[in-house]
Structure 1
Amino acid sequence: MTAAPIAKKVLTTRSHHGRVFRDPYEWLREKESPAVISHLEAENAYAEERLAHLEPLREKLFDEIRSRVRETDLSVPIRRGDWWYYGRSIKDQQYGLQCRAPISDPEDWTPPVLSVDEKIPGEQVLFDANVEAADSEFFALGAFGVTLDGGTMLWGVDLAGDERYTVRVRDIDTGKPLPDVLEGIAAGASFTPDGRFILYSTVDDAWRPDRVWLHRVGDAGRDDDVEIFHESDEAFWVGAGYTRSRDFFQIVSGSNTTTDVTIMRADDVPLLYEGQDVDTYTVFSREDGVEYAVDHAVVDGEDWFYVLHNDGAEDFTLERVPVGNPAAEPETVIPHRAGVRLEDVDCLRDFAIVEYRSGGIARMGILDYASGEVREITFQEPLYTAGASGNPEWAQPIVRLNYDSLTTPATVLNYEVATDERTVLKQVEVLGGYDRDDYAQQRLWVPAADGTEIPVSLVWKRSFGTPGESPRPVHLYGYGAYEHSIDPHFSMSRLSMLDRGVVFAIAHVRGGGEMGRAWYENGKLARKRNSFTDFVDVARFLNDNGYTSPDRLVAEGGSAGGLLMGAVGNLAPEQFGGILADVPFVDALTTILDPSLPLTVIEWEEWGDPLHDETFYDYMRSYTPYENVRDDVTYPRILATTSLNDTRVYYVEPAKWVARLREVGADALLKCEMVAGHGGVSGRYNSWRERAYQLAWILDIFGIAE
């Protein structure tokens, strides 16, 4: 067996607030250095050799995942203009196809039943990502759009994983490309409603979207493009788009805690390209800590701005002001209720879609403009995830929504607002005889050390018995940052674990958004350690109460959840048999101290500003995983995965972490994708193989080799 790679030590000194940190592995940040590439390749070779015995299991898991998926399939069509738009997947092809078919009856909002294996009359394949990707090792589609008249399309592609896209344009009728080629732009380019311009944004050296541009369709390159907005504050990102009514255009500047929205009439946007001044609306002035979103509705012939905000309302409230007088005293539409976190309000012509959280569950309802009442769309399962998706038309009488749970596959429904009726349009088919009744889910409430009840979602296969009756292998997942909620979603690949007797659990720790804004606030900045101690308390509860034992408990988290993994490994290594850290943010203090790195200044509102505030320096120093690796404990087995071109969490963080862990004798492996980004490899078959690799490693810790 080859010895583990030992990174050389080149001492780098970091000094802030009179504190000195001597870092022997910072040299690994030199991405273009042959020595760095050689070290990463050596890590990959070592990981492959160490895990070679798992190759048969990896292949079996891959085959299981693939066998459950209908590889030739299509999505439910979405109506936009005169067409139904949908995606197709073809067996043995990595990427999908973007297609459309003409609408035959303008009065019918029920999508056509399409053939999986055959084209239907009038079907057009607009974009085949397999052709576009060709032999590229990585491919990501960051934009795809068609003009409202249906005649022109755009698409944006990233072939490296660095999230900078090249946008191209094509005439659909002729199939000929237009001269437009926009290079180095951010994701999300789109057409203006009149189809004359492309709206896009660019990023600064710190990878922050900071400028909004208009490009005239038909122009080659970006030389004549007009910058219509620049956000100079380094703590803010910027984006832009139209209300669904297409009557108003918004430029949104936002930080993690503050929003600033500039609104103008949609018809005035072309005037910006000509350099003319236009009238703009504002609802709030930029005020630290005030977040808001604005939408447009017409009620009894009057234009209103509907404003979702947290000014004096921690979990947000919905108010409205007349467009003609946005400075008027606002009318309350949905009052603030503590613990009911209003997340989104989407205005259509006759009603609004309201999405919110209560009791740790993502919920949704329909707002009646006349009465102001919200009618919740209810579901029978105690744990589920529901949300609106695929509702582009202002005048549609239905709401398209998505639903799933830990045991129910992804389901697409049409909800008839007038009748309160719902129609299942499609439920993802799980091949191989999947029966939802063979599996069960449960919500536990686990007491943290400070008395807070932490929700934990469990799913298991019934034939192995109920969790807690006897110790079982448990795969425990966590995240806990940015108010991002880890909802109870269905997973095809997870079935391979459940069918082997593994219990899957999600620890909804503080720092996420599952239980409202206060849940987030109590897991960030100077309360960040709550995320880590919550996860440890959940692990300890599962170990102490007969659900599992430390040798059969594997923790997993990615990105900010990877920070969670590194922190709990330092805090309570004895509670875990293994830790899987995907693109882990484990050298957090080094990153957050450097404002030249991508997103750092924006991140100060999440973690604190250790560069200028010694209190936050000391606090982050107390938990950042790389700097707190211990030599007085035995670590569980650790697998860290990363990508060389990741622009969000640099590969250097897990590379340094693994090198430091090896110093104290930890069994730590590093797997680095040499052509990929933050989301890992691209292509569905590649993604399945990557997940099989990770699951085989987890099963090996559990002692399950088949």
Structure 2
Amino acid sequence: MTTMPAPIAKKKNHTHEIHHHQRSDDYFWLRDDNRENPEVLEYLDQENNYTEQQLQPLQALQTSLYEEMVARQEPELESVPYFKKGFWYVSRYDEGKDYTVYCRYEGTMDAPEQIFLDCNQRAEGHEFYQLGDLSLSPNSMLMAYSEDTVSRRQYTLRIKDLQNGDDLNDVIEDISDVVWANDNKTIFYVKKHPETLLPYRVYRHILGDDINNDQLIYEEFDDTFYVNLYKTRSEQYLVICIDSTQTSECLILDANNPEGDFVSFMPRQRDHEYSIDHFQDKFYIRSNHSGKNFALQTSTQLTQTDCSAWKTLIEAREDTLLEGYELLNEWLIVEERHAGLPQLRQINHLTGESTILAFNDPVYTVFSHYNPDPATTKFRYQYTSFTTPSTIYELDLNSGETTLLKQSQVMETPEGAVFTSDQYQSERVWVTARDGIKVPVSLVYHKSHFNHNNPLLVYAYGSYGYSMDIGFSSANLSLLDRGFVYAVAHIRGGEELGREWYETGKLLKKQNTFNDFVDVSKSLVEQGYGDKERLFAMGGSAGGLLMGAIINQAPELYKGIVAAVPFVDVVSTMLDESIPLTTGEYDEWGNPNDETYYHYMLSYSPYDQVTKQDYPSMLVTTGLHDSQVQYWEPAKWVAKLRDVKSDDNQLLLYTDMEAGHGGKSGRFKHFEDTAREFAFLINLAK
């Protein structure tokens, strides 16, 4: 077989200039906002063909991995039923189907089944399908649902009459959120900007009216803010939530008066983040006004100009981050994060009695499940760890008794491998970074394969204050069973250790994120968790930026890299306000129109810092329709790497021509991508 040469992208001179500084961008021509340029599409096809040929020797392994991953899934999967307003609700996957079926039973689970949305039928004829919102009217007889069939996160809203199964004529394009007023005929929805895709307008629509006559209720003119909608726990108020990275404002309206005007609960103030809920005649406010790790406070006032009259239920604490809460008649359930781990705490409204739920795994994730009835004393929560499949429990808040409702099953593989949790070991270790800060790391491996000389895969994200919670992955068993140690580095830029952990990993402190990852990688090898010749790294989106930065700064450490939908052309993107998400992220990365931020961002931008040196083997993936990280970022990056790098290691670009930021849709299709990535890593680890 003739070996296909690696594609060489043409160079077309293009220069960016700002702050009296010029940047050469020879691959700027790969940007095509319409995704129709034949020259660009041909180049992406060439890269895909080259990747396919390079991975052809791994086809048997890739197929085997895919079959393992699919085989481990339960053939049929059904949710735990819940009761709300006269109906029992269940969602399920039918055997061999890719998408969810939503159904309900009136009064009792023995009643006839009513399927009110079959996403398998809705997905027919589409290469991609994703359900967005699914919202029932207050009387449970109408359903608003939104769908994306392009993978640009631009959803089309429809209304279905659940009594006869027919869709109404009301169809609204390019929306994000939808919420019902209490009259069962008025909906409010958020419209996205046609160019930037920012959610920026709220409209009111009365069923049956001409969409063109919908009333504009609110428009956000500051494009660093995002707009979303929700209804409070009491179902008494509708809330327009307006958020930037570090400032927020809530507008509220009585849900029984949809023709009324939204009013500001509290006007926005720079660096004040807050969110509200309403229950039992008072507002609950999660606010960082009194401390950066957030307090929980209450108010009986509909509007206020300051926080002085708020009553504090939970103080802001330096060592514990308040992440969320669940409001019940007799109990308050608080979701917190302490010492890098999530925890649930129950507090009795009347007595103030407080109890923290205890768990045995060294690393885990726990969070509130769906609890629609505030009158209940039975609280459902979900728990998972590296070695524990997703499990739903019901806690009797009065007695403390816990009941297992459901645990996901891991099925036998075609080779006869049977999962038991005691085959695997999870650990939490702390690594001291170069500036003395201790970084938590979560690890898992197969006990019988662990020999201190294992291939080691380190995964991280490290941006937006997003905490990398530890959960069970049946797909990862395919790596662990082949001897890999899998590590998650909880580096700065996340929020695992509170707000400070986030703030010291963004803006002009972003380099801490990259240093942490490199230092964790070195330390894990030194501690015997992996072979220094078989050290691998993986990250996606902003985690892909991380991959790009660490291979520019410490390429000699890694045998191979997987960078998924990587955000690598940082400066160019953040200078272009027409690109989705750009302006809303100035508080995350900085605004490069400011010279200080420009030069700092330039110092780590993966595309700009590519240099003539040896790089590890790399698999880079993207989606043509990605709205979060445009496909041309990884395409340009790979083109430049291939031109400049001094090694002969594999450099592969795979563009999914049908998908966006989240990859393939459906229950099983995404395993094709995972199998490709794992085959790439396993082959390098030989």
SS at match of 1:223: helix
Q: Tell me if 1:323 matches 2:325.
A: no
The residue correspondences of 1:166-177 to structure 2 (distance < 5 A) are 166-177=156-167
Q: Does 1:309 align with 2:287?
A: yes
Aligned to 1:271: 259
Any conservation in 1 of the 2:15–2:23 contact (CA below 8 Å)?
yes
Name the CA distance, whole Å, in 1 between partners of 2:421 and 2:522: 30
Task: Report which stretch shifted further, 363-372 or 658-667.
Answer: 363-372
Match in the other structure for 2:214: 225
The Cα shift of 1:558 comes to 0.3
The corresponding residue for 2:99 is 95
Contact 1:151/1:172, CA 8 A, preserved across alignment:
yes
Instruction: Trace 1:569-580 onto structure 2 (pairs within 5 A).
Output: 569-580=551-562
Q: Give 1:324 shift.
A: 6.4
| 2:606 paired residue among 625, 631, 635 | 625
Which residue of structure 2 aligns with residue 180 of structure 1? 170
Q: Is the 8 A contact 1:351 1:367 kept in 2?
A: yes
- The reply on whether 1:435 has 2:425 as its aligned counterpart is no
Counterpart position of 1:44: 48
Task: Give the secondary structure class of the aligned counterpart of 1:626.
Answer: coil
Paired position in structure 2 for 1:107 = none
Amino acid in structure 2 at the alignment position of 1:694: E
In the alignment, is the contact (CA less than 8 A) between 1:147 and 1:191 conserved in 2? yes
Q: Which moved more, 1:500-509 or 1:664-673?
A: 664-673
| C-alpha displacement of 1:383 | 1.4
TM-fit CA distance, 1:195: 2.0
Which of 490, 506, 511 in structure 1 is aligned with 2:493? 511
The answer for unaligned runs of 5 or more in structure 1 is: 105-111, 113-119
Structure 1 counterpart of 2:318? 338
2:159–2:170 Cα contact (<8 Å) kept: yes
* Equivalent residue number for residue 235 of structure 1: 224
CA distance in 2, matches of 1:67, 1:325: 55
Checking the alignment, whether the CA contact within 8 Å between 1:542 and 1:549 is kept in structure 2 is no
Cα–Cα, structure 1 residues 37 and 634, in superposed 2: closer, same or farther, change >3 Å? same
Are residue 140 (structure 1) and residue 113 (structure 2) matched? no
Whether 1:416 aligns to 2:396 is: yes
Contact 1:333 1:372 in 2 (8 A): no
- Residue 181 of structure 2, aligned match among 192, 216, 226: 192
User: Which amino acid in the other structure matches residue 409 of structure 1?
Assistant: P
- For residues 367-393 of structure 1, give each alpha carbon's deviation from its aligned partner in whole angstroms, at most 9, with x where no partner exists: 322344542222222211000121223
SS state of the match for residue 684, structure 1? coil
Three-state SS of the structure 2 residue aligned to 1:130 is helix
Instruction: State yes or no: 1:349 paired with 2:353.
Output: no
**Does structure 1 residue 464 correspond to structure 2 residue 449?**
yes
Indicate the residue corresponding to 2:415 in structure 1.
Answer: none
Instruction: Choose 680-689 or 511-520, whichever is displaced more.
Output: 680-689
- Change in 2 beyond 3 A, CA 1:622/1:535: same
- In structure 2, the residue matched to 1:375 is 355
Shift of 1:168: 1.5
Contact 2:182 2:256 in 1 (8 A): no
Tell whether 2:597 aligns with 1:616. Answer: yes
SS at match of 2:676: helix
2:529 aligned with 1:527: no
- Cα offset for 1:216? 1.4
1:324 to 1:687, Cα distance in 2 relative to 1, 3 A = closer
What is the one-letter code of the residue matched to 2:663?
Answer: G
Contact 1:460–1:503, Cα closer than 8 Å, also in 2: yes
* Aligned CA distance change for structure 1 residues 281 and 590 (closer, same or farther; 3 Å): closer
Mean alpha-carbon deviation: is it higher for 512-521 or for 206-215? 206-215
Using the TM superposition, give the Cα deviation of residue 58 of structure 1 relative to its aligned residue in structure 2, in angstroms: 0.9
Letter in 2 for 1:685: F
Deviation digits for residues 302-359 of structure 1, max 9, x if unmatched? x222211111301111122223685662222111210200011232333222111001
Cα distance in 2 for partners of 1:325, 1:623 equals 44
Asked whether the equivalents of residues 326 and 368 of structure 2 are also in contact (C-alpha less than 8 Å), the reply is: no
Aligned length: 671
Structure-2 separation of matches of 1:372 and 1:27? 63
Map 1:421-500 → 2, pairs under 5 A = 421-432=401-412, 433-465=418-450, 470-500=452-482
Counterpart residue number, 2:679: 696
Does structure 2 retain, via aligned residues, the 8 Å contact 1:553–1:575? Answer: yes
Letter in 2 for 1:310: N
**Structure 1 counterpart of 2:144, which letter?**
L
The residue that corresponds to 1:157 in the other structure is 147
Q: 1:550 to 1:629 in 2, by over 3 A?
A: farther
Which residue identity does 1:443 align to in structure 2? R
Deviation string, structure 1 residues 474-504 (Cα, Å, up to 9, x no partner)? 1110100000011111001001111111111
1:235-285 deviation digits (Å, cap 9, x = unpaired): 1111122111111221111100001112232222x214xxxx46x352x33
1-structure distance, mates of 2:245, 2:600: 20
Q: Is the 8 A contact 2:330 2:350 kept in 1?
A: no
1:491-543 CA distances to partner (integer Å, 9 max, x unpaired)?
Answer: 01001111111111001100001111000000000000100010000111122
Conserved in 1, the CA contact under 8 Å of 2:233 and 2:279?
Answer: no
**Structure 2 counterpart of 1:568, one-letter code:** I
Residue type at the aligned position of 1:489: G
Q: For 1:7-18, what aligned pairs fall within 5 Å after superposition?
A: 7-18=9-20
Indicate conservation of the 8 Å contact 2:143/2:159, yes or no: yes
CA contact (8 A) 2:249 2:268 kept: yes
Q: Are the structure 2 counterparts of residues 393 and 323 from structure 1 closer, same or farther at C-alpha, using a change threshold of 3 Å?
A: farther
The answer to whether residue 638 in structure 2 is matched with residue 636 in structure 1 is no
Match of 1:34 among 22, 34, 38: 38
Letter in 2 for 1:700: N
What per-residue deviation string (whole Å, max 9, x for no partner) do you get for residues 139-168 of structure 1?
A: 111121222322122221111101111112
One-letter amino acid of the counterpart of residue 73, structure 1 = L
Give the distance between the partners of 1:306 and 1:150, measured in 2 at CA. 26
Instruction: Give the Cα separation in 2 of the matches to 1:472 and 1:324.
Output: 59
| Residue identity matched to 1:619 | Y
RMSD: 1.6
TM-score (normalizing by structure 1): 0.93
SS at structure 1 position matched to 2:355: strand
Q: Could you list the runs of 5+ residues in structure 2 that have no partner in the other structure?
A: 413-417
- 1:190 and 1:687 map into 2 onto residues whose CA distance is 30
CA contact under 8 A between 2:181 and 2:256: conserved in structure 1? no
SS at match of 1:51: helix
- Stretch of structure 1 that moved more, 200-209 or 621-630: 200-209
Name the SS for the 1:201 alignment partner.
Answer: strand
Counterpart of 1:363? 343
